[in-house]
A and B are shown apart, each in its own frame.
Chain A
Amino acid sequence: MAASLRSPGWYRAALWTAIGFVFAFALVVGIRAAADFGVVVQWDSIITVALVTMPIFFLYGIGCFDTWLYWISGRPTKPDDHSDHGAHSWKDYFKVNTDHKVIGIQYIVTTFFFFMIGGLFAMIFRAELLQPGMQFIDAQTFNGLFSAHAALMIFVFMVPVFAGIANYVLPLMLGAPDMAFPRLNALSFWFLPCAGIMFLASFLAPGGAFATGWTAYAPLSDQAPLGQTFFSMGVQFAGASSIATAINFLVTIITMRAPGMTFWRMPLLGWANFATSLLVVLATPFIAGSQFMILFDRALGMNFFDAAQGGDTVMYQHVFWFYSHPAVYIMVLPGFGIISEIISANARKPVFGYRMMAFSLLAIVVLGFAVWAHHMFVAPMQNWIRIPMMFTTMLIAVPTGVKIFSWLGTMWRGVIHLRTPMIWALGFMTMFVLGGISGVMLAVVPFDIAVSDTYFVVAHFHYVLFGGSLFTIFAGIYHWFPKMTGRMYNETLGKWHFWTTFIAFNATFAPQHLVGLEGMPRRVADYAEQFAAWNMFISISSFVLGASMLIFIYNMVYSWRSGPIAPANPWNAHTLEWQVSSPPPIFNFDDVPTVVGHPYEYGVPGARHGIFKEPEPVVAAVAGDSSTTSTDEGEPAPA
């Protein structure tokens, strides 16, 4: 027992999390006693400090800092023998691991755990909205539920799940043995459960969960009960996680590509994550700043947002949206990359307008920083900001349109294989265009003012985030499932999952456009009698939507345990990750391959993307059947 408390792991993590709490208690009470306040036990302050110390002490206990502390203490560092690479049993996924493939799966499973809880919250408040009047929960709980729903979905699902998929796929795709900073990669993953658990734990705080929405507008969030601190602190951890991952991706993409892989021979998933990481590094510090200001106001009594003391509440919205608008691109650009891979491989054609696809990503990055105030058309900001922001918001539809038409051009006269990932990709395209069109409608200032804070807005962002981003996530997970697990998913269940989700999704969110236009306000627990019929329909559809996720979970769990063994390259794709075994060897490659051509030359006779050294005989038995025998119009994989 004593030994297990000294070595990294869950016992030491539990011990140190407890020590973190004691430390926070002693610090707050001790400082006040030392400053002649006497012995005061004020739980608000103690919990605020504990929200910093407990996660950090937990991260030490689980073992995120061990190697670094070894270095800091001045002892000679052990050369890294990479003995912790790979996962040999399910228990290895619960340890600190520096292998990007293990971290990728840790990311995906953890984020889907929070996704399920966030979805459950949505169904609870949809149950409340089934009928007018108050039935199950009070208004404060309702506010807490929709706030936690948004916080979980955005900060610990949508943003990090893309980091998880890219973590797994990108180093393989680029021909790199691992990410540039494997230990930082592990640390960024372990920040996430800290953030997610903080959002959930806020329900236990006195006064209930944070109830100010995910936007946490000041001064409401300044005056909210203690649960708000859980939100602000959780965002700091999630933000630190995404900044660290973005730095890791940028360094990996720029300095670790295989020989011959110029930027113009890089798969579009690499481009998409390059663009996303630029956004994260530049924008995420702004939400950290906004939440620091809230924390300073709440914990240190500062007055950033107290107008009587010269504070400025509109400033909060500017700082917040300067991150949170680019954040919607952080939540969809990696999806664009996934869709490009899938459509090209399943339509057996090169990506149409490859360079334009890359340039349009960069255009979105640049324009994404110039549209934030369209969230503030009803805020008391300067009037002259509105029209330029309306113009840039409409302009950003142009690079997005370039991408949509390029995907259509890719499919034009292709040999389309309607496998599950492809169906999700097609579903994404239709739904995202609908969400994009209502986005252009919302860019128009008078229309936006009319429907501000109604269900029309809710419908819009669920079409882009659920019908858009989440569909790309499902597409990506089905597409790379054989590579990640070494087994095939069940094609029939995959298609059932798609059609139930697709229909229930539209039944849930399409009517919200109508009730929104009629003026039903969002974020309110009760509503007028006239909306009753539609709301009952929406609520029932949302339960079907929730149930459709069970098909996905069953398919994933069942296929991972006992699906048919996957070949190395079931889709006959050209990118490098498909040229190694499924699942890939522990160090990805024996020797880094040389890239000699474009990644999407499907249907071009004799086209090669990567060339591997002649494999050893044993390897050939396992992985050698991939690149040499791939034919371009190959049969769909057995499922």
Chain B
Amino acid sequence: MEAASAAHAEHHGHMPVANASAKINREYFGMVLFIVSEIMLFASFFTAYFFIRVVQGEPWMPEGQELPVYVAMANSAILFSSSATMHWALEGLKHNNRKAFKTGLVLTLILGSTFLGVQISEYVHLGFLPKDSAQASVFFSLTGIHGAHVAVGLIVLATVTRRAFKGHYGPEKDKHWGVEIPGLYWHFVDVMWVFVFTSLYLL
């Protein structure tokens, strides 16, 4: 049997090309599904928020634990504009405008890091800790998990930027996915911030 399967293997030396039974790019679709599961992870923490704030009717936030709404608003503007520069970078790549592509990526990195820096500085200056109340636990968890996603996004985008400066990627159909898929993740991180920001700071 061993000999038979070895002879067999030699005659099957190439990998057949899989049939594309759907038009969508596989990696892009995989990222979409990953984002769906990420949304559900955030949803589990929003459930905690809902139960503590709405079902139990605890005050939001407790006495003496105020949140700096205006700082966060300005910080949100920074994060949202990074989505725009990301889109600009991708459009630049698709139209073979390398300068716009690279500038867009670098600007996205700068804006994203600024957001993260301001967020950390906000943690330091809040004047209360995660253990001080259940509301504080929810606040730090939701913003912290979001911040972790921003950090992951920055690492991925830094990799993309480095490769962009090495001349990788191109406007061809199969050479922009390496930018478009991290970009999709970055937009998800931004859109998720709309919900985190609205429910924690504004409402």
Please report A residues at the B interface, Cβ cutoff 8 Å. Answer: 71-72, 74, 82, 85-86, 175-178, 180-181, 184, 243, 246-248, 250-251, 254-259, 261, 281-286, 288-290, 292-293, 296-297, 300-304, 306, 309-312, 314-315, 318-319, 322, 486, 565, 581, 583, 585-592, 616, 618-619, 622
Q: Which residues of B contact A296 (CB under 8 A)?
A: 130, 137, 141
* B198, CB-defined interface residue at 8 Å: no
A302 CA to B138 CA in the complex, in Å? 9
- CB pair A310 B135 closer than 8 Å: yes
- CB pair B141 A255 closer than 8 Å: no
Q: Which residues of B contact A312 (CB under 8 A)?
A: 48, 51-52, 55-56, 134
26 contacts across the A-B interface (CB closer than 8 A) = A86-B9, A177-B18, A246-B33, A247-B34, A251-B26, A251-B29, A254-B22, A256-B19, A258-B19, A281-B37, A285-B43, A286-B40, A293-B141, A296-B137, A297-B137, A300-B131, A301-B130, A303-B133, A304-B137, A310-B56, A311-B52, A311-B137, A319-B44, A616-B11, A619-B12, A622-B4
- CB pair B16 A281 closer than 8 Å: no
Please report B residues at the A interface, Cβ cutoff 8 Å. Answer: 1, 4-5, 7-9, 11-12, 14-22, 24, 26-27, 29-30, 33-34, 36-38, 40-41, 43-45, 47-48, 51-52, 55-56, 58, 62, 130-138, 140-141, 145, 159, 162-163, 166
Q: Which residues of B contact A71 (CB under 8 A)?
A: 159
- Within the complex, the shortest CB–CB distance from B38 to chain A, in Å, comes to 7
- CB pair A285 B41 closer than 8 Å: yes
Q: Which residues of B contact A310 (CB under 8 A)?
A: 52, 56, 58, 62, 133-135
Assuming A322-B47, A590-B12, what are 10 further A-B pairs, CB within 8 angstroms? A250-B33, A251-B26, A256-B26, A289-B41, A304-B138, A310-B58, A318-B51, A591-B16, A616-B11, A618-B8
Q: Which residues of B contact A309 (CB under 8 A)?
A: 132-134
- CB pair A254 B21 closer than 8 Å: yes
A591 CA to B30 CA in the complex, in Å? 25
Known: A247-B33, A255-B22, A618-B11. A319 touches B134 (CB 8 A): no
- CB pair B33 A281 closer than 8 Å: yes
Known: A286-B40, A301-B130. A251 touches B16 (CB 8 A): no
- CB pair B44 A285 closer than 8 Å: yes
A458 CA to B116 CA in the complex, in Å? 49
- CB pair B11 A592 closer than 8 Å: no
Most interface-central of B22, B37, B130, B162 (chain A CB within 10 A):
B37
Q: Which residues of B contact A180 (CB under 8 A)?
A: 26, 30
Nearest residue, chain A, Cβ from B2: A88
A297 CA to B48 CA in the complex, in Å? 13
A175 CA to B159 CA in the complex, in Å? 35
- CB pair B48 A293 closer than 8 Å: yes
- Within the complex, the shortest CB–CB distance from B81 to chain A, in Å, comes to 26
Most interface-central of B16, B19, B140 (chain A CB within 10 A):
B19
- CB pair B159 A72 closer than 8 Å: yes
Nearest residue, chain A, Cβ from B4: A622
- Within the complex, the shortest CB–CB distance from A601 to chain B, in Å, comes to 21
Main secondary structure of the interface of B (DSSP, over half): helix
Instruction: Say which residue of A181, A259, A304, A306 sits within 8 Å of B30 (CB atoms).
Output: A181
- CB pair B26 A304 closer than 8 Å: no
A-B pairs, 10 with minimum CB distance: A289-B44, A302-B137, A310-B134, A315-B51, A285-B40, A285-B41, A257-B21, A301-B131, A585-B12, A311-B134
- CB pair A288 B41 closer than 8 Å: yes
- CB pair A586 B26 closer than 8 Å: no
Q: How many A-B residue pairs have CB under 8 A?
A: 190
Nearest residue, chain A, Cβ from B21: A257
Known: A286-B44, A309-B133, A622-B8. A247 touches B26 (CB 8 A): no
Instruction: Say which residue of A281, A303, A619, A622 sits within 8 Å of B137 (CB atoms).
Output: A303
A233 CA to B34 CA in the complex, in Å? 20
Q: Which residues of B contact A290 (CB under 8 A)?
A: 44
- Within the complex, the shortest CB–CB distance from A103 to chain B, in Å, comes to 16
Q: Which residues of B contact A257 (CB under 8 A)?
A: 19, 21
- CB pair A74 B159 closer than 8 Å: yes
Nearest residue, chain A, Cβ from B58: A310
A590 CA to B8 CA in the complex, in Å? 11
Known: A254-B21, A288-B44. A282 touches B52 (CB 8 A): no
Q: Which residues of A contact B11 (CB under 8 A)?
A: 590, 616, 618-619
Q: Which residues of B contact A301 (CB under 8 A)?
A: 130-131
- CB pair B52 A302 closer than 8 Å: no
- CB pair A283 B40 closer than 8 Å: yes
Q: Which residues of B contact A85 (CB under 8 A)?
A: 15
- Within the complex, the shortest CB–CB distance from A458 to chain B, in Å, comes to 28
A589 CA to B159 CA in the complex, in Å? 36
- Within the complex, the shortest CB–CB distance from A274 to chain B, in Å, comes to 12
A469 CA to B19 CA in the complex, in Å? 32
- CB pair A247 B37 closer than 8 Å: yes
- CB pair B36 A282 closer than 8 Å: yes
Q: Which residues of B contact A588 (CB under 8 A)?
A: 16
- Within the complex, the shortest CB–CB distance from B122 to chain A, in Å, comes to 18
Q: Which residues of A contact B43 (CB under 8 A)?
A: 285-286, 289
Q: Which residues of A contact B136 (CB under 8 A)?
A: 302-303
A261 CA to B55 CA in the complex, in Å? 49
- CB pair A255 B56 closer than 8 Å: no
Q: Which residues of B contact A251 (CB under 8 A)?
A: 26, 29-30, 33
- Within the complex, the shortest CB–CB distance from A482 to chain B, in Å, comes to 12
Q: Which residues of A contact B130 (CB under 8 A)?
A: 296, 300-303
Q: Which residues of A contact B162 (CB under 8 A)?
A: 74
Q: Which residues of A contact B26 (CB under 8 A)?
A: 180-181, 251, 255-256
Nearest residue, chain B, Cβ from A248: B30
- Within the complex, the shortest CB–CB distance from A373 to chain B, in Å, comes to 13
- CB pair B38 A285 closer than 8 Å: yes
- CB pair A74 B166 closer than 8 Å: yes
Q: Which residues of B contact A243 (CB under 8 A)?
A: 34, 37
Nearest residue, chain B, Cβ from A277: B33
- Within the complex, the shortest CB–CB distance from A429 to chain B, in Å, comes to 32
- CB pair A255 B21 closer than 8 Å: yes
A178 CA to B9 CA in the complex, in Å? 16
Q: Which residues of B contact A281 (CB under 8 A)?
A: 33, 36-37, 40
A286 CA to B44 CA in the complex, in Å? 5
- Within the complex, the shortest CB–CB distance from A68 to chain B, in Å, comes to 10
- CB pair B48 A581 closer than 8 Å: no
Q: Which residues of A contact B56 (CB under 8 A)?
A: 310, 312
- Within the complex, the shortest CB–CB distance from B172 to chain A, in Å, comes to 17
- Within the complex, the shortest CB–CB distance from B50 to chain A, in Å, comes to 8
- Within the complex, the shortest CB–CB distance from B64 to chain A, in Å, comes to 14
Nearest residue, chain B, Cβ from A180: B26
Known: A281-B33, A300-B131. A587 touches B15 (CB 8 A): yes
Most interface-central of A176, A283, A286, A315 (chain B CB within 10 A):
A315
- Within the complex, the shortest CB–CB distance from A426 to chain B, in Å, comes to 32
Q: Which residues of A contact B30 (CB under 8 A)?
A: 180-181, 184, 247-248, 251
- CB pair B9 A586 closer than 8 Å: yes
A581 CA to B17 CA in the complex, in Å? 19
Q: Which residues of A contact B133 (CB under 8 A)?
A: 303, 309-310
Q: Which residues of A contact B19 (CB under 8 A)?
A: 175-176, 256-259, 592
Nearest residue, chain A, Cβ from B46: A289
A255 CA to B26 CA in the complex, in Å? 7
Known: A314-B51, A586-B12. A302 touches B141 (CB 8 A): yes
